Structures are given as C-alpha cells and as structure tokens.
Structure 1
C-alpha cells in the first residue's frame, strides 16, 4: 500500500506503560486484520487543511491519540480483540515547499486520495469496519469511495457531526469539499449533518444543499439557541435520514467547543455531546455501519498552540464506539 506502514508489536510496546496488576489495552490489542470487528488506521496529515487555506496541525493528533488509547485499562466490555491496529500513513514526502501556490497543495491531496482509497477498499473487502483517526476532512472523500467500492454498492450514506458541511464547490481537492466530490461522483448517496454553524457556511453552499432531497442538515443554533429540538432528537433525525443503507459516521472535532483544531470553535457542542453522539450512532448498528472517521483535531498547531487533552478526548470517543458497537 502506497505511503502506508503496517504496525508490528514493537510499534505498540514502546507506547505502553506497564504496571503490575493492571492490563492496558496496548498489551492485548490485535494487529493487522485480526480484530473481530474492524481495524484502526491513522492519517497524520494537514495537507488537505492547508489546501483549504487553513492552519496546519492535524498531523499531530494520531501519535498522541495512540499514546492515550493504548494505555486505557482493559475492561469487561473492552477486551482488546474487537479492533486491531493496522498502521498509519506517512504523507510527509508530499508536503509542498512553503510559498508555492495553492494548486500544489491540492495536487498533493489527490495523491492522498488515491492512497487512502486503496487501503479503505481493501479493509472493507476483508469484511472489517475501518476506524480512521487524524488528518483533515479531505479524507472523507477517499474513505467514502473506498467503502462504497469495497461494499460493491452504488454509494453509501453518511452522518456527520460538524460545524461545517464541507460541501463547497469542485475547485480542486481540499478539506472543505470532500463530501461534495463524493456526492457528485456517486459514492455518497444521502448526507446528513448535525451541528452546522450558521456563521461559517456560505449561503451559496447552503442553498445548493437545500435544493437536494438527498441532503439534510440541522443548525447548532436550532438545537442550542432556538430550542427547536434537543441534541438527541437532532441525531435521531440524522439517523432516520441515513439508515436506509450502509452509512459512515463522521465526527469533525472543530464542532466540539474549545477542542484544538484549524477551525477551533469557542462554543460548539460539548465533549459530553460528542461522546453521546458516538454512543447513539454505534448502538446496535454493527451491520449498518460502513466506517467511523474522526478528523481535524490537533495537540499542536503550526502557530504554537498546544492542548494534549484532544488526544484523550479522541481516545474516549473511540473506546465509547468500540464498547457500544460490541455490546
């Protein structure tokens, strides 16, 4: 697989802090395709974010997440054999030189698309559910395409918890238009978004989305300001919209208030809401899910900001998902 490194036991052992009388997840987690339900894949890159004129830093989430996730305590409902660690991409050789035009960044995203698509398709062909962590939201496009091709369907549906629809026009690949590319090319059938910010989605894009009967969205303001529905009702609305066929689950960390990301929001939804979202979408839906993707978060931004708590937040989200999916 291009740009991909498959993990071996040494890659895991060096991250695990062992203590007598305790068993950490990293001591018992499987490798390769051995996970009963699926595999975990890392995409540490911010090329797609930079191609969208955003701030770099998303490449920092994956390694920090691993350090947190692998040191979670093994539990009755988290045995370590549910999902295996497959490995991580290394796209560092694709990072353009500083000062080049935006077209160079967008061409690099196309190479990322190709590599991620090939791997996700293979994972799905193996009958495994991909959990993909890190990078920009540009990666939704190759993940959706890989899931659709691997499943042999005309398209998959997607539910996204996100402040931004990432449904901008086809202007070259970047983190702001992955869903639009997948939609226009037939890999994305129905698309539902929960938590959109009225302030940060263009009227042109929203008007196009409203004209499509295969797209549905709920604004953050309709949930938390106007009280037109509560958060669980908004998630249920999205689930009702996409559950007609296999669907992917997306969570963009810029929707969570004060979580470090390129488009960090001072308000957003709470960490509790994010965990509740994951719990609700995983609940008794193993046969309905096509993939799970968490993106856009960081522990270190290119501008110097840091927050190691992002990694622990994502570790919570992944373990919540695995425990509820296997329940």
Structure 2
C-alpha cells in the first residue's frame, strides 16, 4: 500500500481542541498502526481520490472531504452515546500523487490501481472480524470495498460474496467499459462477489432506460426510486429502507453499506442535487442499517469541500461526522453481532 499514510499521535493532537471539563472523541480514539484481534470493532480510514469521478466524465473534488471530516469527527463529545475507544484510526490513502491524466482510458487504468490498494486494506480489516469505516473518494471505491470484503471473509464466513445496500441517486450499474465511479456494482456482480444489491432513492431522471431494464430484470437486484417514495407516495422513506434491509437480510451474506452524498440535497459533490433526500433521512438510513443488518463495512463517498469548478462548502466534513457517528451508534445499539467477531 505505497499510497497509504498512517495516522499518528501528533496528527491527532494537532486536531483535537481540548476544553476543560469535556472529553472529545479524539481524546479516546485508538491510534495505532497495527491491525490485530485487539483492534476495536470499527477501523476508520480515508481515501483521497477523484479519479473514478473524472473517469466517468464528472467534476473532480471527491478527494477533498477527509481532512474536514477528521477535524469535525475528532471534536465531537465522548459520552455514553458514543465512545471513542470503539474506533481505531488507521490513516488515509492519497492517490492525488498519481500522474495527472486527461484521457479517459488512462484514468480508468489508474482507478484499477486504486482498487487494488484499497481492497487489500479492506480485506485485512474484515479478516480480523472488524468493520471498516471508509470515508471519501469516488463511488468507484464500491468495487474495491466489495472485493476486499469478499476476500477477507474466506476463513470465517459460509459465503464470500457480499450483499449491499446503496443510498444513491444513481445505480452505478453502467456497462463494463473500464473502471469508473458509475459501474462499480456491475463489475462486482459480474465478477461474483456482489450477491444481492439494493438501491434506495434512485432518481428516474438520471437512470438510462437500458440500465433500468437491467435492474428490473435481475433477480438479485431491488430498487426504489425517489419518485415512487415522494411523488407517487407508493410507500414512505422508512418503508423503502425496510424493503432494502429485508431484501439483503441473510444468515449467509454480510451486508456492505454504501452512501453516495449526491443523493442528499445541496451537499457538495460532483453530481450535487438541488432535490433529493434530507440530511435527516440519510442519518436515519445509516442508523437503521447499522442496527438491523449484519454489516460488513460502511463507505461514504463523493463528498467534497472543494470542487475543481471552484464551488466550496466547508460544512461537508461536519455532515460526514454526523453520518459516521449515527452508524456507530446504530451498531452499538443493535442486537446483531457477527459470529466470528473478536470484540
């Protein structure tokens, strides 16, 4: 993992704003480079990468959220609701050092290099019975997350393919034309390590007809559209989340949780939307899936604090901090525990 940068105690101390009579999460999180059975249940790392977005003709910037997230996350309160000792911070990948490319095929080759490095770390974490918390980067990373999880499960789990729930405005099920942010789930399913795939909140306006036909015809894919939830009112948002959880629930397959922030209204991203889900609904989704699913990992992607087109929003990191804390609270508050967990 030549592009990985370990997190150090000095990194931690430079970020935590200590106040008298308070304990911040950053004063309790575990900072160590070793990964073993003694590691806490959650292992957090970041990804600085927007190659997958650019390889899908999008606007760069998805690698900018990690630092802002850390500043916010490490300064929330350590209380009985959320204890820092349950989280280990490893560090982050920085793929911004890759030689800049303009040509799409070259970008897609770089995405394959990102896949290979990230999948190795995810596999290592999962093999120890821990849950990776993966923050940042493009949604191309879903492929690496699923591949790494499937590889890491080989010694512990009856099925090494993974189910997945994706809260997203897009299916990311485009054709296999070279790796990018729009086809990670197609590649993962075609290659055999994504079993069931559920999408919540798909936008009809941005789902091509050929992809819609593929989704509808596939027996191991379930999706609900934003329009069915909020315009036609066929069911409410909570029911849509229930459907996805029930579809992916399994005694044989763990469930990866993916959240692309381009489904949340007015959150800075390459495909930023003026109409979509609220921050409250995104938080509800993560709490419910963590509590009710036998989760394999969490990936929150596409968020940006600065886009290449000049748009900026410094509050993005704080939103990501809320989302991660909600997921951790949901898991600690839930009843489902992996049989092979060491914690």
Q: TM-score range by the shorter chain?
A: over 0.9
Quick one: which of 78, 82, 89 aligns to 1:85?
A: 89
Q: Which residue of 2 aligns with 1:173?
A: 179
- Structure 2: how far apart are the matches of 1:6 and 1:90? 11
- Give unpaired runs (5+ residues) of structure 2: 334-343
Deviations 1:255-290 (A, max 9, x none): 0011010000001000010011011111154xx111
Q: Which residue of 2 aligns with 1:308?
A: 314
Quick one: which of 73, 76, 94 aligns to 2:77?
A: 73
Deviations 1:29-70 (A, max 9, x none): 002345421201100111110010100011111110000000
- Equivalences, count: 323
Aligned 1:1-327 pairs, distance under 5 A: 1-32=1-32, 33=35, 35-97=39-101, 100-152=102-154, 153-244=159-250, 245-285=253-293, 288-327=294-333
Residue 93 (structure 1) shift? 2.1
- Structure 1: how far apart are the matches of 2:204 and 2:76? 37
- Structure 1: how far apart are the matches of 2:75 and 2:160? 40
Deviations 1:223-268 (A, max 9, x none): 0111000000000000001111211001000000110100000010
Residue 77 (structure 1) shift? 2.1
- Structure 1: how far apart are the matches of 2:110 and 2:169? 25
> Matched residue of 1:171: which SS?
coil
2:136/2:302 contact within 8 Å kept: yes
2:269/2:303 contact within 8 Å kept: yes
- Structure 1: how far apart are the matches of 2:138 and 2:238? 26
Deviations 1:167-211 (A, max 9, x none): 000000000000000000001000000000000011111101111
- Structure 1: how far apart are the matches of 2:233 and 2:122? 39
> Matched residue of 1:93: which SS?
coil
Deviations 1:70-125 (A, max 9, x none): 0111111212111111110011222424xx31111111001000000111101111
1:154/1:186 contact within 8 Å kept: no
Residue 296 (structure 1) shift? 0.5
- Structure 2: how far apart are the matches of 1:172 and 1:72? 40
- Structure 1: how far apart are the matches of 2:128 and 2:12? 23
Residue 305 (structure 1) shift? 0.6
- Structure 2: how far apart are the matches of 1:172 and 1:37? 34
1:96/1:104 contact within 8 Å kept: no
Deviations 1:302-324 (A, max 9, x none): 11111112111110010111112
1:47/1:95 contact within 8 Å kept: no
- Structure 2: how far apart are the matches of 1:282 and 1:105? 34
> Matched residue of 2:43: which SS?
strand
